[in-house]
Structure 1
């Protein structure tokens, strides 16, 4: 084999006339091969780097999307909590039922009934959305998230438990979820709670049995707020605790979050 290579080398010198030139050509050939090999490695490295970057960016996009959704859930849920706690507070402390339902005109009566039903339904709608789509709202502190989960469970209980042997103004767990379901509508960006206008259009005729049953409960409540006072206080307390827990930026002024005593 060596004799063959030597013969080829000698013939190449004979043709080209210089051992130095042949050596140079061999070195150039080797350099080009190394260069080609190096370029392939560089391109491969670039491709791998780009792939890793794409994966990282997709993960970041997903994380930001989840955070945006969480923020949306948190703000919408916060407003539903505050709307309902405010209504309960004024029913108990400001005699809202006496002023606008018992002694008001027909328009005032209709508003108090329909809007109270809507505020309760809106609250259950956001609870249902949280349960089915995000399970729970992630807060900055994991302990707060656990506390929130417990408060949401407590919410189910205070709406349905018998208080002193009475079940006035009670909404059972299954009905809570059913109300939430009918109050949610599908949109291009997911399910959202319907607005008050659409609620009046679709449910004021009392044909939906789920909402009609809640309407009956609200009418009974407005006839005698005192009979449901213990439940209202329990519900209101949980609402206030939930607001304070998730509203770290104090978007809702604390002076409007007075608990019923």
Structure 2
């Protein structure tokens, strides 16, 4: 093989290698942009779910919501209070599971804000998971949190376009699907226990409410979706 042939082969090989390398980096860039888009899209929904849950916890801790509707309200009021309280817990866990599936936490890059969100989600999960010697109202082990999150994901979805069941769909499943209802029976009973005496669960609820507000601050740092006065941490 003469020198010209060698040079031509080397150029062709280098060109092929450059093409492969360029294609690889393009795919990496597309994947990174896609994950960031998912994080932005799902992060907004997660922020709303966290807001609804912390708001409900704030009202429960203030002694108003469950006392007014579940203890002293009509039968319809009581059922709404019971189910909607469990729903806001389940919806939050659903969006956490969606984010876990589609964004893949361990592949989010070096973003400091993403790491902070991951840390905060882990702290909230640990507070749900924490067990006490005598009272475990609203305790959910991590595997239960993921299972509830999974059953809350609407079946007609795909990566980047998933959503949680809405409240009407949630109630319909409770009424018609015994396997679905089984995941929530203890939580529904726990709401009644807390309505009768919040003291045993107060420490967990206060920690969750505070941590959820911190999560909202991470997801909405410029207070675009939620003004600061809507992010009050409950203080006894």
TM-score bracket for this pair, using the shorter chain length:
0.7 to 0.9
Could you tell me which of 170, 174, 193 is aligned with 1:203? 174
Count the aligned residue pairs: 213
SS in 1 for 2:105: coil
The residue aligned with 1:249 is 222
CA deviation profile, 1:135-157 (whole Å, cap 9, x unmatched): 33999983332222221111111
* Higher RCO (CA < 8 A, seq sep 6+): 2
Could you tell me which of 204, 208, 211 is aligned with 1:235? 208
Alpha-carbon distance in 2 for matches of 1:104, 1:199? 22
2:157/2:163 contact within 8 Å kept: no
Q: Cα–Cα, structure 1 residues 92 and 235, in superposed 2: closer, same or farther, change >3 Å?
A: same
Alpha-carbon distance in 2 for matches of 1:73, 1:137? 16
Residue 229 (structure 2) pairs with residue 259 (structure 1):
no
2:128/2:140 contact within 8 Å kept: yes
1:89/1:260 contact within 8 Å kept: yes
The residue aligned with 1:80 is 49
2:113/2:218 contact within 8 Å kept: yes
TM-score (structure 1 length as normaliser): 0.71
Question: Which consecutive unaligned segments of at least 5 residues does structure 2 have?
Answer: 1-15
TM-score (structure 2 length as normaliser): 0.78
Residue 66 (structure 2) pairs with residue 97 (structure 1):
yes
Alpha-carbon distance in 2 for matches of 1:135, 1:60? 16
Question: Which consecutive unaligned segments of at least 5 residues does structure 1 have?
Answer: 1-47
Structure number, greater radius of gyration: 1
Residue 141 (structure 2) pairs with residue 167 (structure 1):
no
RMSD value over aligned CA atoms? 2.8
